[in-house]
Structure 1
Amino acid sequence: MRVARTDPTAGAPRQGRLRGVRPELWAAFAALAAGAVLCVIGWYGVSGERFAERQLPYLASCTVPGAALIIAGTVLLAHGRSTLAAARVEELYGLLVATEATAPLSPGSPQTVATSDDLLMVPGGTLWHRADCPLVADKPEAVPADATILARGDLGPCPICEPPADAAPER
């Protein structure tokens, strides 16, 4: 007696499997292969005949259709790749819109990335940051900003978290 296995992703959409199936690309490769085979058969048939009137059937039945299949396969390959690229752009756009839709935005004001008044710096870095800036958050090497380094002007303000202007060194 066999035990039925349960798939943990049974309810989830199967985008991974669908993403791998590209009928345009498979058709393109099949047309290219069939066209190449027909061209080789036509060339072999033409090369075995001495007179032009006996070569024409090979040209008409193998070489010309083979060349047409190669052209069709090339067109399908170009179309399949552009379709794939368009699908990827659509997927990225959907992810971007979904991310923006979940972020709370107040009308008329830009979204603040960081709000902490504590300033941090990374030794060897070129910027000072707010403590909750995404560039230094959860980094153990981030240390409190040194007032002497800020006063010398060795560090610039982070363009992401925009630390307070009163902490900027006087130039």
Structure 2
Amino acid sequence: MRTVRPRASDLHPVLWTGLAALAGGAVLCVVGWCGMSGERHAERQLPYLASCTVPGSALIIAGAILLTYGRSTLTSARVAELYELLVPPEPRPAAPGRPLTVPGGTLWHRADCPLLEGAPRAVPADGPAIAAGGLGPCPVCAQQTGA
């Protein structure tokens, strides 16, 4: 099984914004730490704390939230795409016409019978076989018609 990784074009813009916020927050925290570590007195450390470290921490938190939201958005989009591939959009409408059967089968089916879905060898059932009782009605078709 091959693992599919997202391409750069698949990434949601929120992910890029989150990454930028994380990077900016990390830079601000490093600048604030370097500025504070060079000062001996607490009153001279406060400007670095207020202007770099606190906003940097807020950017890191915002970036983490944006990354989480972006990943869940990307995941939701992929799940929706897979759902569309796996589940048919609408049931087929009832198609009037000649009944069908599978060669060697004992039941006749309507053209929209879900049991015939994917059966490429379904052929028209001949009327005399149905009239003579050689072919019985499909239970699913009978339930759909209310018979």
Instruction: Give your verdict on TM over 0.5.
Output: yes
Is 2:17 the partner of 1:27? yes
What TM-score, normalized to structure 1? 0.49
CA distance in 2, matches of 1:49, 1:76: 34
Distance 1:107 1:75, change over 3 A: farther
Is 2:115 the partner of 1:111? yes
CA distance in 2, matches of 1:107, 1:38: 68
Counterpart in the other structure of 1:52:
42
CA distance in 2, matches of 1:45, 1:27: 27
Residue identity matched to 1:50: R
Residues 79-106 of structure 1 show CA distances to partners (whole Å, capped at 9, x for unaligned) of 000000100111112222347757x995
**Partner SS, residue 27 of structure 1:** helix
Counterpart in the other structure of 1:165:
none
Residues 113-166 of structure 1 show CA distances to partners (whole Å, capped at 9, x for unaligned) of 6698xxxxxxxxxxxxxxxxxxxxxxxxxxxxxxxxxxxxxxxxxxxxxxxxxx
Matched residues, number: 100
What TM-score, normalized to structure 2? 0.57
**Partner SS, residue 16 of structure 2:** helix
**Partner SS, residue 87 of structure 2:** helix
Instruction: Give unmatched runs, 5+ long, in structure 2.
Output: 1-6, 96-109, 122-147
- Report % sequence identity: 62
Distance 1:108 1:50, change over 3 A: same
Residue identity matched to 1:68: A
CA distance in 2, matches of 1:32, 1:93: 33
**Partner SS, residue 49 of structure 1:** coil
Instruction: Give unmatched runs, 5+ long, in structure 1.
Output: 1-16, 117-171
CA distance in 2, matches of 1:22, 1:28: 10
Q: Indicate if the aligned counterparts of 2:11 and 2:74 stay in contact, CA closer than 8 A.
A: no
The one of the two structures with greater contact order (alpha-carbon pairs below 8 A, sep at least 6) is: 2
Distance 1:107 1:69, change over 3 A: farther
RMSD of Structure 2 on Structure 1 (CA): 3.3
- Equivalent of residue 95 in structure 1, options 61, 68, 85: 85
Distance 1:84 1:38, change over 3 A: same
After TM superposition, the structure 1 stretch with the greater mean CA deviation from structure 2, 73-82 or 91-100, is 91-100
- Equivalent of residue 71 in structure 1, options 43, 61, 75: 61
